[in-house]
A and B are shown apart, each in its own frame.
Chain A
């Protein structure tokens, strides 16, 4: 008997039944195919303004830094300013994201693509943000290499306020909505809440374990629709 059949058989035997009948299968299929949210904490359910201030508060609490910008065009300038504050060279590795690529990076030494570990600073676009815990949702794709989220020491993430939602569930709903396939998940979907850390040595909290030492979030309050 294959291990597969052995395990499934064993599960059924222990639960005291055979394989599911059609009826109960249909019920289970229905639960699986029409996902319902469970209890969602009230905390993130305010209006857009409340969500933004909650997001900033929660992200800051876990050692991320946040700048609020009026427009996407201001991103290169804000990045340059941040690098200066951090006493770094003005060199960045950009994700090949159309919204980032259309910006004027001429004042910085900017290259584009995934990282092989030699980049100190990575700049990426967030897919979404969840106010409830100040978390960023980053999805892999042609415009968003996963290596840029984990290899550089400085992780700069651009989040459009329009992509900020109250809770995780809203992001899952959006992923399903935006895909016409049943396989709507990217290879990698990461929720990022603050920069990397460890407390493995004498329970002392240290930032910058294996992932980025710093996480800087640029929130774009104007979505390019107004004015």
Chain B
């Protein structure tokens, strides 16, 4: 998809007024997080597994060149092909060339964030191919011609009436009087329509949650089974992945799988975890004749060894997104990037550049929930902070904001004067706001009070309260 991360503030304001979106988000806020909590509580080793998951990814990233080469070697030994793509253009071309070499007309696609990053559907369409998304959520948004709003639940922003509308518009060969009231009816229709596509497709494209250096396998994790049909029925299976999806052994993958589904949906395990190794083997009755792995870099190698290095541990579970109060308020499209939420606010500037996405590092309350739930313990707030610092150094910060910060900094290094001033200000605000308990508007704070009230202080500063309590928390 095209990056549209300039307009976070405008998009967010719109999202807050979108009732359908708000209803979906309210459900999300309680759904996944509670399930995750229950799954974590049920596995006593969960925290220790998170430590190991982090260490495995760290080790792999530190030796990434070694493992990439081993993986390549193993894929070739087992009869597959590896293609290296330094950027999106490169990747798209590789995929198209493979399709062309087998005279492909239709292509089925399992869910792949790398595919989204490459905007591979648009590209293949331009070239005259017919790509069909097969994950139910992806299929729905493909019909509606919009980008995903969540990395594992791409259509989470939609109500069933939207889905019905899209199906009626597209499946015109079906009787118009048919009943599509219930989610079950919609699923049944999608299943039947997509069955035909699976069987007719010449090429199947999937993503990969992991690549295993030891065996040259790629791994997909799904609940629907669409990924498996996508990679089993056509003659050619193309896997889209990026360099950081690597793990050394099957055992390392097992550890990561133990934290992935639990963190994502709170499932003990996703329904289908499938390891694909090479094309179909000699006696196999089914499976593809060709197996291609496209490994995309697109700026990731630059992140290694630098401020956002740790972000490459990400296993795309979406826990940070599900728990983020900002995402829960505005949804995924407001971010204008295919990677929304906290992980996206770190990753998008790293891939596309900070100028392209300058609002994103600021689209956070710094509450720290993301780091708390991240299965590979990525210090997301710390990295957001480093993006903000970089923004400050490099200049894309408005002059007024700079001025305000300098004034604040001037006082902050003079603690006595600062405390004195703060005391007076708090007392004043406390007195003024006593009646309502909040301010509807406040000098210099229009941006804040435009969409919410400013709570009136009690009349004392934090430091005063803190010393009165002798530094105790309660």
Given A6-B86, A188-B276, A210-B226, answer yes or no on A169-B306 (Cβ-Cβ < 8 Å): no
Given A6-B86, A150-B225, A203-B156, answer yes or no on A114-B65 (Cβ-Cβ < 8 Å): no
Q: Is A58 in contact with chain B by the CB < 8 A criterion?
A: yes
Pair B228/A201 contact, Cβ less than 8 Å: no
Pair B229/A151 contact, Cβ less than 8 Å: yes
Interface string of B286-298 (1 = CB under 8 A from A): 1100000001010
Pair B254/A169 contact, Cβ less than 8 Å: yes
Q: Is B250 in contact with chain A by the CB < 8 A criterion?
A: yes
Q: Is B449 in contact with chain A by the CB < 8 A criterion?
A: no
Interface string of B57-70 (1 = CB under 8 A from A): 00000111110111
From A14, A31, A149, contact of B302 by CB (8 A): A14
**Residues of A close to B306: CB separation below 8 A:** 14
Pair A188/B232 contact, Cβ less than 8 Å: yes
CA–CA, A128 and B77, complex, Å: 26
Of chain A, the residue at the smallest CB distance from B232 is A146
Pair B269/A32 contact, Cβ less than 8 Å: no
Q: Is B376 in contact with chain A by the CB < 8 A criterion?
A: no
Interface string of B131-163 (1 = CB under 8 A from A): 000111100100000000000011110111001
Q: Is A178 in contact with chain B by the CB < 8 A criterion?
A: no
CA–CA, A58 and B271, complex, Å: 12
**Residues of B close to A113: CB separation below 8 A:** 285
CA–CA, A113 and B269, complex, Å: 29
Of chain B, the residue at the smallest CB distance from A34 is B249
**Residues of B close to A196: CB separation below 8 A:** 223-225, 271-272
Q: Is B268 in contact with chain A by the CB < 8 A criterion?
A: yes
CA–CA, A4 and B284, complex, Å: 32
Given A147-B232, A196-B225, A209-B223, answer yes or no on A190-B302 (Cβ-Cβ < 8 Å): no
Among the stretches A39-47, A77-85, A103-111, the one at the interface with B is A39-47
**Residues of A close to B267: CB separation below 8 A:** 62, 193
Among the stretches B182-190, B203-211, B407-415, the one at the interface with A is B182-190
Q: How many residues of A contact B (CB 8 A)?
A: 80
Given A193-B269, A195-B271, A202-B27, answer yes or no on A187-B285 (Cβ-Cβ < 8 Å): no
Q: Is A140 in contact with chain B by the CB < 8 A criterion?
A: yes
Among the stretches B40-48, B323-331, B338-346, B429-437, the one at the interface with A is B40-48
Pair B272/A190 contact, Cβ less than 8 Å: yes
Q: Is B273 in contact with chain A by the CB < 8 A criterion?
A: yes
Pair B273/A191 contact, Cβ less than 8 Å: yes
Q: Is A226 in contact with chain B by the CB < 8 A criterion?
A: no
Pair A203/B28 contact, Cβ less than 8 Å: yes
CA–CA, A110 and B137, complex, Å: 36
Min CB gap B259→A, angstroms: 11
Pair A28/B63 contact, Cβ less than 8 Å: yes
Q: Is B1 in contact with chain A by the CB < 8 A criterion?
A: no
CA–CA, A141 and B285, complex, Å: 7
**Residues of B close to A33: CB separation below 8 A:** 214
**Residues of B close to A211: CB separation below 8 A:** 224-226, 228-229, 271-272
Among the stretches B113-121, B191-199, B394-402, B456-464, the one at the interface with A is B191-199
Q: Which of B316-364 contact A (CB under 8 A)?
A: none
**Residues of B close to A10: CB separation below 8 A:** 297, 301-302
Pair A35/B251 contact, Cβ less than 8 Å: yes
Q: Which of A186-209 contact B (CB under 8 A)?
A: 186-204, 206, 208-209
Q: Is A86 in contact with chain B by the CB < 8 A criterion?
A: no
Min CB gap B93→A, angstroms: 10
CA–CA, A212 and B225, complex, Å: 8
**Residues of A close to B159: CB separation below 8 A:** 202
Q: Is B104 in contact with chain A by the CB < 8 A criterion?
A: no
CA–CA, A28 and B186, complex, Å: 50
Given A172-B250, A189-B275, answer yes or no on A202-B183 (Cβ-Cβ < 8 Å): yes
CA–CA, A200 and B69, complex, Å: 37
Q: Is A162 in contact with chain B by the CB < 8 A criterion?
A: no
**Residues of A close to B285: CB separation below 8 A:** 96, 113-114, 142, 145, 147
**Residues of A close to B278: CB separation below 8 A:** 183, 187
Across the A-B interface, the 10 shortest Cβ-Cβ residue pairs: A211-B225, A209-B224, A142-B283, A200-B137, A10-B301, A14-B304, A185-B277, A35-B249, A4-B84, A3-B84
A-B contact pairs, 18 of them (CB 8 A): A10-B297, A28-B66, A39-B255, A42-B45, A62-B267, A62-B271, A116-B199, A141-B283, A150-B232, A185-B217, A186-B277, A189-B217, A190-B275, A195-B271, A201-B155, A209-B187, A210-B191, A210-B226
